[in-house]
Amino acid sequence: MEMEIPLAGGRITDGVVRLADTVRRPAKESSRRVQSALHALRLAGFYRAPEFLGFDEKNREILSFIEGYVPGDLGENSVEQFYMAIDMARDLHQASRAFAPEGLVLCHDDLSPCNTVFSAPCRQWDSHPVGIIDWDACAYLPAWEEISYMCWLWLDLGNEEMDAGLQIQAMGRALDRYGANEGFREDFPGKMIARMMRVQHSFEARGTGDVQGVRQWVGEGVAWVKRHEAAIRAELEEKR
């Protein structure tokens, strides 16, 4: 009999286990919506997400297992890995245009390093993103919602130990790789702040978890964007 192995990756759902080549996750209100989204992505040719395989006898979701390493927290990834994750998000959004409402794309909506499967621990020279897990928050949104969130988390904006100049350059290169047009780039600092505040409002509405800690984290990110707003605008303007 196969043993269930607890999985620590992802940051939304507890009680996730591996059983053979599948992942079992507690069913949620979002399960049917996620099932529909993952099925549509697979039909559209995007294979970096798990395949939804139904429910087991314990009413848990069954998904295909993506082999690899999932970071437990932010700060492990390199800038090059961030660029590769941007490429993956671009491919996700492009695939979803086959079925998404006009003007929107299917966003994972929590595409952080902690919801990304890497081929090996991040600090290994050949480690690269291979898949995306924990799709509970997926939604049809403007593409900038996903990319601004990724810039925040993958570049660890607000962390004063990081080089702000390099972070801003990386942001500009990321938008280039994504193929962001003028409308996408317009007021990108404002878009990042709006996305950060949406995280805070979501935690406050749920009333669970470390709400005060999230407020502090969001506040540091917002302050960083405001402090470097002119440099961000100049970088993105230069890249057009």
Q: How far apart are the C-alpha atoms of 58 and 79, rounded to whole Å?
A: 41
What integer pLDDT is reported at residue 76 of this predicted model?
Answer: 95
The candidate with the shortest Cα–Cα distance to 84, out of 50, 118, 47, is 118
In sequence order, the β-bridge partners of residue 140 are 106
| Long-range CB pairs of 49-52, under 8 A, 24+ apart, other chains included | 49/92, 49/131, 49/132, 49/133, 49/135, 50/23, 50/131, 50/133, 50/135
Contact, 111 vs 149, CB < 8 A?
yes
- 10-residue mean pLDDT profile of the chain (240 residues): values are 74 78 91 95 97 93 95 94 98 98 97 97 96 96 98 96 96 97 95 98 88 96 98 82
In SS3 terms, the chain reads as CCCEEECCCCCCCCCCEEECCEEEEECCCCHHHHHHHHHHHHHCCCCCCCCEEEECCCCEEEEECCCCECCCCCCCCCHHHHHHHHHHHHHHHHHHCCCCCCCCEEECCCCCHHHEEECCCCCCCCCCEEEECCCCCCEEECHHHHHHHHHHHHCCCCCCCCCHHHHHHHHHHHHHHHCCCHHHHCCHHHHHHHHHHHHHHHHHHHCCCCHHHHHHHHHHHHHHHHHCHHHHHHHHHHCC
Six-digit token string for 102:
């006009």
Cα 124 to chain centroid, rounded = 21
Query: pLDDT value at position 145?
Result: 98
The one-letter amino acid at 142? P
Give the predicted TM-score (pTM) of the model. Answer: 0.94
Q: How far does CA 236 lie from the centroid of its chain?
A: 22
Question: Given this model, what pLDDT does residue 11 score?
Answer: 55
| Whole-number pLDDT of residue 30 | 87
Residues with Cβ within 8 Å of residue 49, at least 6 apart in sequence: 38, 41, 42, 92, 131, 132, 133, 135
